[in-house]
Structure 1
Amino acid sequence: MIDQHQYSVTVCSLSNSNYFTEVDHQITGGSERQVKYVVDALLANQIPVQVLLTNSNNNVSNDIDHLSIKNLWSEKSNFIYKIFKLSLSLITSNRYIYLRGLSWVHLYVIFISKLLGRRVILAMTSDIQCVKSDSLYINLMRKLSLFLASTILSQTNKQKTLLNNNFHVNSSVYHNLISSKYLNKSYEIKKTFEYREIDALWIGTIEPRKGISYLIDLAKKFPDKKISIAGNGRTREKDFESEMMNQLNSLDNVSILGFVQPSLVGDLISSSKVLINTSPIIDKSVTKEGFPNVFLEAWLFGTPVVSLFHDPDDLLFNKDLGRICNDVESFYYSINELSEDDYMWNAISEKCETWIKSRDIYFDKVRNELKEILFFDD
């Protein structure tokens, strides 16, 4: 058993946005969401947590017990200042360092932390980062980061295999978390099939690697189906976003909702019969996904997932939490079937709400499992 009073964690969230101080989360991704859930789970068990942030636009609050938050720099800070502030913070950091994803700045964090005798817990993000890149420099960064990390957490068994095959490192599989409290979910309340007016919901970033173009054919094939799209594009993909929006806006059965704040996404999902995922295979048999947050959010609200190509640890197939489709025709068929057959939908929906409790940090068992995997010493 882990004694929480013996442990403390420094969490590095060195991206352009975060879930601790920012009000507008339009540029905040799934990795930052998982950082928030990990921190909340540790705090619920009274484990001291320090969070290192960057580019925070709002004042940092430290009003929560056992939590300290430090903003290291702003966008205008120069490189030398950033290195100085980061190094100083690592010198005074806690024994355990937690970070997500591979990058050059994370490699620096890992290297300095190891020199200081810290235990570094590196959690993986996208499947893409688990395979070799065409760039020798990126491969070097990935190899060194994985070699130096004390503990590597892969999101799925597929990621574990990819890391072993490509970089010859071992990792522990730990599925992503969810917070019913953050998403205002009560297990006693559920919107039933007949009150879900959206037939198919798509949530994501509007970019080529998310496969949103499949929705155009879906809407044309089933003009009687109500399809809703939540999300926006990145600055570098504005031309692609404009092209997709022009085509989708011309379809009467498609609603473009734009960006929806994460804390409000539950209302949208609970009004939908199915959530759809269209991320295509990009390269080396991987998609941009890892273990998508939106899958967990759908299951939390009893919404089956219909996915084209991506099924994290075969949960859709083995646990019957929706449908995995390896071709477009079966994808369209499954969406049509689950949005019409209430008997089948109810059976799958119940399984979704049962399984998701194994990842919800509201439950003691989930938080205790997190402690065990984070604080395991070889």
Structure 2
Amino acid sequence: MKICFLGLENLPVLAPEFNRHGIGGEQVQQTLLAKALARRDHAVSMVVYDYGQDDCACWNGVTAHKAYRKDAGIPIFRFIYPRWTGVWSALHRANADIYYVSCAGIALGLVALFCKRHGRKFVFRVASDTDCEPDKLLIRYWRDKKLYEYGLRRADAILVQSIWQQDAMRTNYSLHSRVAEMLVDTPERAVARDIDVLWVSNLRQLKRPELYLALVKKFPQLKFHMVGGPQPGFGELFNQIRREAADLPNCTFHGLVPYHEMDNKYAAARVFVNTSDTEGFPNSYLQAWIRGTPVVTFFDPDAVIRRENLGRAVSSLDEMASAVTEFVANDNVWSAASERCKAYMARFYGEDRILSPYLEMFKRIL
């Protein structure tokens, strides 16, 4: 099969030489899926931003087609040129049988219109719970919301991360979807557990980084680490969190850390903490669990943490503090949880098992 991923920000995950640019979870998922398909001899390509790379350059068997520079164009007019025209040109050069796009936004509408015109198939992958809720879409403009909804209703297949998302897509849009699990990189090597508590996320308001700093203040004797880069529109929040973290002697604020350098961080942590208000299924959970790091969080997709005992799902900061204390202070509790995390990942997240529903769905829609 010839499969093209529209993921404009994927290149920093695919190509280490560009990893100084920020990424999110869906960029990781698209890239891991693309590389896994390429290893199975499918013709795989991506449409990405122009970061200065050669057009049609190839990494790990995945060919990257440039669309446009992220900052190119004149406001108002740039919606058409270079954004619409650049994406369509790159999609055309990819000449794929199936196009794959993630996250609520205009990209889905552009792919839908392209595929309708050229007689191709396309798949949409939900990346967050908010993608399934019309009133909570993380889309700024009315025009972009309409393009998203246009594409959503014309997708040849919709994939979701959880049963909750599947139910929400059916309830809110009357659309059928299929749950498809996520891929995860295997650990490179074991390292010393010298980080007590780790937090990793892009610095946006819905990630609630201020709650993590409140947790830091409760445990001056523990070592906390915080990883997260600035996001468009949230520069002031990033600077505020960086300043507040600098005033806490037990908190190390790393800012943006490239994806390819995160293995040691997850492996060195005793506990991973998530404070988000909303998520999809966080890549960070999988990256923590596969390295034997329990997760303490407010967000528990499909109650997997409670069901499999992979850490603690909590409802308040005090509960989070209590869970952190238990895992950090009690070696027996931590060791048992760590082994459960690794066993769970070995049982359910083998690459062949994860790929199976994707391949079945691709073949079905062709």
Shared fold (TM-score, shorter chain, > 0.5): yes
- Pairing partner for 1:172 from 163, 168, 178: 178
| In 1: Cα distance, 2:28 partner to 2:107 partner | 19
Question: Secondary structure in 2 aligned to 1:165?
Answer: helix
1:190 to 1:89, Cα distance in 2 relative to 1, 3 A: closer
2:47/2:91 contact within 8 Å kept = no
Does the 8 Å CA contact 2:297/2:313 hold for their aligned counterparts? Answer: yes
In structure 1, what is the equivalent of residue 72 of structure 2? 76
Moved more, 120-129 or 97-106: 97-106
| TM-score (ref. length: structure 1) | 0.86
Q: State the Cα distance separating 1:226 from its structure 2 match.
A: 1.3
Residue of structure 2 in register with 1:372 after alignment: 360
Distance in 1 of aligned mates of 2:5 and 2:179: 20
Distance 1:104 1:47 in 2: 27
Q: Distance in 2 between matches of 1:69 and 1:139?
A: 27
* Structure 2 gaps, min length 5: none
Q: Which one of the candidate residues 24, 29, 32 is aligned to 1:34?
A: 29
Match of 1:247? 244
Match of 1:218 among 208, 215, 220: 215
Judge which range, 212-221 or 235-244, deviates more: 235-244
Q: How many residues matched? A: 354
- Greater mean deviation of Cα atoms: 93-102 or 349-358: 349-358
Q: Distance in 1 between matches of 2:262 and 2:243?
A: 24
Give the C-alpha shift of residue 83 in structure 1: 3.6
Distance 1:358 1:169, change over 3 A: farther
2:107–2:148 CA contact under 8 A, matched in 1 = no
For residue 343 of structure 2, give the secondary structure of its aligned residue in structure 1: helix
Matched residue type, 2:72:
K
Letter matched to residue 327 of structure 2:
L
Pairing partner for 1:324 from 282, 304, 313: 313
The answer as to 2:293 corresponding to 1:298 is: no
**Structure 2 Cα separation of the partners of residues 88 and 245 of structure 1:** 40
Q: Which residue is 1:4 aligned to? A: none
Q: CA deviation at 1:54?
A: 2.3
Equivalent pairs: percent with the same residue? 22
Distance 1:334 1:82, change over 3 A: closer
- Look up the match of 1:311: 300
Equivalent residues of 2:215, 2:321 under 8 A apart: yes
Please say if residues 6 and 101 of structure 2, whose CA atoms lie closer than 8 Å, have aligned partners that are also in contact: yes
State the AA in 2 paired with 1:121. Answer: V
Aligned amino acid, residue 304 of structure 1? P
In terms of mean alpha carbon deviation, does 118-127 or 91-100 score higher?
A: 91-100
**Cα distance in structure 1, aligned partners of 2:249 and 2:60:** 50
1:119 maps to which residue? 121
Does 2:10 align with 1:13? no
| Structure 1 letter corresponding to 2:341 | C
Q: Which residue of 2 aligns with 1:202?
A: 199
C-alpha deviation, 1:234, in angstroms: 2.2
* Contact persistence 1:175–1:359 (CA under 8 A): no
- 141, 145, 149: which one aligns with 2:147: 141
Q: 1:23 aligns with which of 18, 29, 38?
A: 18
Shift of 1:277: 0.2
Q: CA deviation at 1:142?
A: 3.4
Secondary structure (helix, strand or coil) at the match of 1:121 reads strand
Relative distance call for 1:86 and 1:245 in structure 2 (3 A) is: closer
Q: CA deviation at 1:261?
A: 1.5
Kindly provide the CA deviation profile for residues 212-255 of structure 1, in whole angstroms up to 9, marking residues without a partner as x: 11123212222211111112222522222222222222222111
Counterparts of 1:152-191 in structure 2, within 5 Å, are 152-180=158-186, 185-186=187-188, 190-191=190-191
Q: CA distance change for structure 1 residues 88 and 196 in 2, over 3 Å: closer, same or farther?
A: closer
Q: Is residue 272–residue 303 contact of structure 1 (8 Å, CA) maintained in 2?
A: yes
CA deviations on 1:118-149 (whole Å, 9 max, x unpaired) are 22110011212211137754553333221100
Deviation of the 1:200 alpha carbon = 0.7
Alignment of 1:355-366 (within 5 A): 355-357=344-346, 360=349, 363-366=351-354
Structure 1 or 2: more helix by fraction? 2
Q: Contact 1:358–1:366 at 8 Å: present in 2 too?
A: no
Question: Structure 2 length normalisation: TM-score?
Answer: 0.88
Q: Compute the displacement of 1:174 (Å).
A: 1.2
CA–CA distance in 2 between the matches of 1:261 and 1:81? 28
- Structure 2 letter corresponding to 1:316: I
Following the alignment from structure 2 to structure 1, what is the Cα–Cα distance between the partners of residues 250 and 205? Answer: 22
Label 1:52 to 1:235 Cα distance change in 2 as closer, same or farther (>3 A).
Answer: closer
Note if 1:86 corresponds to 2:92.
no
CA contact (8 A) 1:90 1:113 kept: no
**Aligned-partner Cα distance in 2 for 1:372–1:307:** 33
SS of corresponding position for 1:270: helix
- What residue number does 2:265 align with? 268
1:114–1:120 CA contact under 8 A, matched in 2: no
CA distance in 2, matches of 1:66, 1:17: 13
SS in 1 for 2:364: coil
Whole-angstrom CA distance in 1 between matches of 2:60 and 2:252: 42
